[in-house]
């Protein structure tokens, strides 16, 4: 009975989304509620609440960084994945795979350092760095998704007279969508964390309290930024996970 | 309706088809029969240009297929593939509607066509339209596969081992159903199989293929009674006479009774839809030299004699 109830909580996705979302919203709008807690943890500090910008503004900045780079990475990543799995593009499949993984092994901090002299400080270099960093999971999963489409439906589609683009749109994309969404999800989660680096070059976001805390030796600031980043990552992960499951609906046995 | 003219297909090393020439007439069911790897699927895919020949020409309706846009050709030719190949993300109705939608039929016409086809295969639209392929049994999925191929009412139907993956009982049922439907629709069918019994059951003509060449192409009856090559006698087996009998109706052997209608009730009696093989089985089972044939109301119609069967 208890086990069953636990499972119910575990799997009823919307419930956990509501809980995490509520907690996140509470902290964003009412961080002062946890001030006593911070005071008891860090009694030596004279300031506990980060107040140089509202948390709402930081969250919005953060999301703008992640979403704009995510949209770019999704467009480019899916397009690249499609191109290298076409008949004419197969030769580039290996190159594309290694290029995308190279993008991810390159430290984002180094990308930022290289970009600032070229495009200046702020959001722009951060978005580019996040784009490069988030591209790999999307490219990899798009390729894996398209390659996993079973031969039967492919041959049927061709044999019934679908043109290559129709096969792509009506058979290949729908069947590889769950994997592509999983790639976008991974990419977004990684970049919600990575985007905190943007604060070092003035892009704002939830990295700001972390950076301010590091410089001003105020761990309470760091905790506020880090907790919000963590909750945001979990929230987005849960939301995209729902999308994934809705998409897979037809496959549920 | 379909004509192969000196068609050769080579892959890097293998010669899949060697100088194939044959013709399938309108309304016939031509079965390509042969061991695995002999080139049956290759022949089939040449017809709808999924494969291009190395040499030779293929004509459909007198037109060289190489001069027809492949997509257009394929929309006008029904195609049932080896492993069904239903689209797993589309429901039964959407799967069947594939070609009509490609041909831009209006919604109402697509809808009524889907229902018509489901009725044809004795699947009720209410309970099947919205199901996804994983919610179908093997036999149902294969029916939907054939329905999908028939959707735009093509004159030609290509079938690549459509019943190969089914268990014997279901396969039997689907073969019977297909024969029944084919009697009404009179499609020109090219049917690929490696199963001798299936070929004998469904074919008008059989093309026996071995190593990419046609060994014999003839009416089923002729292949069974006059095999042109030791390979064929061997491939069809010693019991080919029995297989032939299975194709013949008891009507062919019936000696009608004259005089008044009598009602008889015995389990040695045959029905009109039984085959010559069924008659033989009854004779052996009941140790009789002749057995009666009755209609559905157990009225005596006549008799079958063993000598007639043996001399057929
Ligand atoms: N794409 C291909 N590349 C190379 N060889 C092939 C290809 N397709 C088929 N073959 C070969 O051609 C021969 C005939 O194949 P197929 O027509 O599929 O035989 P089946 O009679 O079993 O349907 C086989 O020897 C097979 O290995
Ligand atoms: Mg084959």
- Give the pLDDT of residue A18: 92
Torsion of Cα atoms, A112 then A115 then A121 then A125, to 10°: -70
Assess whether pLDDT exceeds 90 at residue A191: yes
Sheet holding B270-271, edge to edge: B255-256, B300-305, B290-294, B270-271
- In angstroms, the CA B144 to CA B262 distance is 45
- In angstroms, the CA B127 to CA B143 distance is 15
- In angstroms, the CA A20 to CA A28 distance is 12
Residue of A nearest to B49 (CA): A159
Chain A residues in contact with B98 (beta carbon < 8 A): 157, 160, 162
| Ligand 1, residues at Cβ distance < 6 Å | B 11, 14, 16, 34, 36-42
- 3 state DSSP class of A245: helix
- Residue A169 has which token pair? 């749109």
- Residue B27 has which token pair? 């309304």
Assess whether pLDDT exceeds 70 at residue A8: no
The answer to whether B128 contacts chain A (CB < 8 Å) is: no
Ligand that lies nearest to the alpha carbon of residue B209, given by its number in the listed order = 1
The answer to whether B89 contacts chain A (CB < 8 Å) is: yes
- In angstroms, the CA B161 to CA B194 distance is 8
Pick from B50, B89, B132: which is nearest to A159 by CB?
Answer: B50
- Give the pLDDT of residue A247: 54
Mean pLDDT of residues grouped by 10 in chain B (312 residues)? 94 92 94 94 95 95 93 94 89 96 95 94 93 93 94 94 89 90 92 92 93 93 88 86 84 82 79 88 89 87 88 80
Spell out the SS3 assignment of A154-211. Answer: HHHHHHCCCCHHHHHHHHHHHHHHHHHHHHHHHHHHHHHHHHHHHHHHCCCCCHHHHH
- Give the pLDDT of residue B273: 85
Average pLDDT over residues A96-101: 81
With respect to CATH, is domain A51-252 assigned 1.10.3720.10? Answer: yes
Average pLDDT over residues A177-182: 92
- Give the pLDDT of residue B236: 86
Beta strands in A55-132 (DSSP E): none
- Residue among B37, B52, B210 whose CB has most ligand 1 atoms within 8 A, to mutate: B37
- In angstroms, the CA A202 to CA A226 distance is 18
- In angstroms, the CA A181 to CA A186 distance is 9
Assess whether pLDDT exceeds 90 at residue A65: yes
Range scoring the smallest mean pLDDT among A41-55, A89-103, A113-127: A89-103
- In angstroms, the CA B162 to CA B179 distance is 13
- In angstroms, the CA A196 to CA B279 distance is 85
Residue of A nearest to B48 (CA): A159
Cβ-contact B142, B162 below 8 angstroms: yes
- In angstroms, the CA B92 to CA B87 distance is 9
- In angstroms, the CA B22 to CA B45 distance is 15
- Give the pLDDT of residue A6: 46
C-alpha closest to that of B147 among A174, A156, A252: A156
C-alpha closest to that of B293 among B221, B278, B285: B278
- Residue B246 has which token pair? 């299975």
Place of tokens 């157990």: B298
The ipTM value here is 0.82
Report the Cα A164 to chain-centroid distance in Å: 31
- In angstroms, the CA B84 to CA B162 distance is 7
Cβ-contact B221, B205 below 8 angstroms: no
- Give the pLDDT of residue A246: 57
Burial of B10 (0-12, 13-18, 19+ CB in 10 A): middle
Assess whether pLDDT exceeds 90 at residue A174: yes
Cβ-contact B250, B272 below 8 angstroms: yes
- Give the pLDDT of residue B46: 96
- Give the pLDDT of residue A1: 42
- Could you tell me which residues are beta bridge partners of residue B80? B159
DSSP for B168-214 reads HHHHHHHHHHHHHHHHHH--EEEEEES-HHHHHHH-SEEEEEETTEE
- Residue B155 has which token pair? 């004159």
- In angstroms, the CA B75 to CA A181 distance is 33
Assess whether pLDDT exceeds 90 at residue A51: no
CB atoms within 10 A of CB A22: 10
CA distance to partner chain B, nearest, from residue A158 (Å): 8
> Confidence band (pLDDT; 50, 70, 90) for A12?
low
- In angstroms, the CA B251 to CA B248 distance is 8
- In angstroms, the CA A224 to CA A52 distance is 13
**In a mutagenesis test of the A interface, which of B65, B81, B105 is the best target, namely the one with the most A β-carbons within 10 Å?**
B81
Cβ-contact A133, A103 below 8 angstroms: yes
- Give the pLDDT of residue A244: 64
> Confidence band (pLDDT; 50, 70, 90) for A250?
low
CB atoms within 10 A of CB B137: 10
The structural domains of chain A, with segments of one domain joined by +, span: 51-252
- In angstroms, the CA B112 to CA B94 distance is 13
Cβ-contact B308, B255 below 8 angstroms: yes
- Could you tell me which residues are beta bridge partners of residue A43? none
- Give the pLDDT of residue A79: 96
Chain A residues in contact with B138 (beta carbon < 8 A): none
C-alpha closest to that of B22 among B207, B240, B275, B234: B207
**In a mutagenesis test of the A interface, which of B42, B45, B49, B85 is the best target, namely the one with the most A β-carbons within 10 Å?**
B85
- What crossing angle do the helices spanning A13-29 and A55-84 adopt, rounded to 10°? 140
Assess whether pLDDT exceeds 70 at residue A54: yes
> Confidence band (pLDDT; 50, 70, 90) for A139?
very high
């Amino acid at each position: 009975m208890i086990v069953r109830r636990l499972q119910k909580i575990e799997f009823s996705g919307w419930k956990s989304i509501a809980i995490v979302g509520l907690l996140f919203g509470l902290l964003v709008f009412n961080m002062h509620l946890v001030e006593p807690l911070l005071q008891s943890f860090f009694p030596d500090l004279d300031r506990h609440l980060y107040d140089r910008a509202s948390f709402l503004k930081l969250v919005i900045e953060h999301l703008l960084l992640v979403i704009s780079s995510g949209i770019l990475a999704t467009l480019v990543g899916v397009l690249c994945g499609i191109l290298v799995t076409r008949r004419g593009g197969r030769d580039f499949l290996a190159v594309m795979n290694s290029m995308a993984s190279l993008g991810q092994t390159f430290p984002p901090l180094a990308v930022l350092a290289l970009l600032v002299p070229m495009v200046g400080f702020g959001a722009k270099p951060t978005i580019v760095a996040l784009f490069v960093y988030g591209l790999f999971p999307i490219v990899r999963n798009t390729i894996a998704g398209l390659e996993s489409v079973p031969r039967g439906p492919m041959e049927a589609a061709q044999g019934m007279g679908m043109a290559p683009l129709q096969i792509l749109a009506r058979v290949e994309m729908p069947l590889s969508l769950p994997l592509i969404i999983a790639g976008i999800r991974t990419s977004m989660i990684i970049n919600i964390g990575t985007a905190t680096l943007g604060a070092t070059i003035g892009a704002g976001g939830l990295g700001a309290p972390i950076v301010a805390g590091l410089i001003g030796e105020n761990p309470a600031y760091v905790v506020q930024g880090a907790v919000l980043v963590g909750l945001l990552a979990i929230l987005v992960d849960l939301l995209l996970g729902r999308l994934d499951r809705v998409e897979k609906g037809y496959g549920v046995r | 309706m379909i004509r192969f003219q000196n068609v050769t297909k080579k892959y890097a090393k293998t010669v899949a088809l060697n100088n194939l020439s044959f013709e399938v007439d309108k309304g016939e069911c031509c079965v390509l029969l042969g061991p695995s790897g002999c080139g049956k699927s290759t022949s089939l895919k040449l017809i709808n240009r999924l494969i291009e020949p190395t040499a030779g020409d293929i004509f459909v309706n007198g037109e060289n297929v190489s001069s027809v846009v492949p997509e257009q050709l394929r929309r006008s030719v029904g195609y049932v593939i080896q492993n069904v190949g239903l689209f797993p993300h589309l429901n039964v109705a959407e799967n069947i509607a594939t070609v009509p939608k490609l041909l831009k039929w209006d919604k109402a016409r697509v809808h009524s066509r889907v229902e018509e086809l489901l009725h044809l295969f004795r699947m009720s639209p209410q309970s099947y339209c919205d199901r996804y392929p994983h919610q179908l049994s093997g036999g149902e999925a294969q029916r939907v596969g054939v329905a999908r191929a028939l959707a735009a009412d093509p004159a030609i139907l290509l079938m690549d081992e459509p019943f190969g993956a089914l268990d014997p009982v279901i396969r039997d049922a689907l073969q019977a159903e297909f024969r029944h439907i084919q009697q009404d629709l009179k499609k020109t069918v090219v049917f690929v199989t490696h199963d001798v019994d299936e070929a004998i059951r469904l074919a008008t003509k059989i093309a026996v293929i071995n190593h990419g060449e046609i060994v014999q192409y003839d009416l089923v009856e002729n292949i069974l009674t006059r095999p042109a090559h030791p390979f064929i006698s061997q491939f069809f087996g010693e019991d080919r006479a029995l297989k032939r009998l299975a194709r013949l109706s008891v009507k062919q052997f019936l000696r009608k009774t004259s005089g008044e209608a009598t009602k008889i009730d015995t389990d040695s009696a045959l029905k009109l839809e039984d085959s010559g093989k069924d008659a033989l089985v009854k004779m052996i089972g009941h140790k009789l030299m002749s057995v009666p044939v009755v209609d559905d109301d157990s009225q005596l119609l006549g008799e079958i004699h063993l000598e007639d069967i043996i001399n057929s």
